[in-house]
Amino acid sequence: MATEHDKAVLQAIFNPSTPFGDIPGINQEEELTEDDSSFDPDLVRRVKSLELQGVSAAESGDIQAALKHFNQAIELLPRRASAYNNRAQTRRLQGDTTGAIVDLERAISLSGGAGRSACQALVQRGLLLRLANRGDEARQDFERAARLGSEFARQQAVQLNPYAALCNRMLAEVIDKLRNPDLADAQ
């Protein structure tokens, strides 16, 4: 049976673009859930139904109908983060990046920085910040989402970390020289 250290070494060899010691899935949280227990269950069911209708409308290209459904969900349960995440995506599709970021910040705040909604909002905001060339802020969001269990966010954080990229490149060169000692002597 391989130890955690063995797994980390193998990870570095086969995936040199990840930080040493990071093993995809090993630090990943169990399936993230939302704690809706503080809300009326009937309202939660109605809000989830509105959100599903909004997602369906957005997927079919009816952005206005999607916004209407998400706005209704927010009106019914303004302290529940999920609808803000969904509305942010719809606003992004509409080209309203500023409005999307405002909704994502609201989702992060309402979720207390934990659970599925926080993780999704951090990833979404990180992507928007990255597109806006705000790499340091994007990396911070990806790192927070990675701590919540998002493998995608972890990969994005690594890509945005210049020190990790340099270390990984150096490690890949060392490993390559170990694999091919004859080529290393020729250089």
pLDDT at 19: 46
What would the two tokens of residue 92 be? Answer: 């992004």
**In the chain, where the domains are located:** 35-181
pLDDT digits (tens, 9 = 90+) for 45-85: 999 999 999 999 999 999 999 999 999 999 999 999 999 99
The fold for domain 35-181 equals 1.25.40
- Decide: helix, strand or coil at residue 16: coil
Q: Which residues contact 14 (CB under 8 A, 6 or more apart)?
A: none
pLDDT digits (tens, 9 = 90+) for 160-175: 876 665 676 777 777 8
pLDDT digits (tens, 9 = 90+) for 1-40: 455 555 554 454 444 444 444 444 444 444 566 778 889 9
What is the sign of the dihedral through the CA atoms of 72, 73, 74 and 75? positive
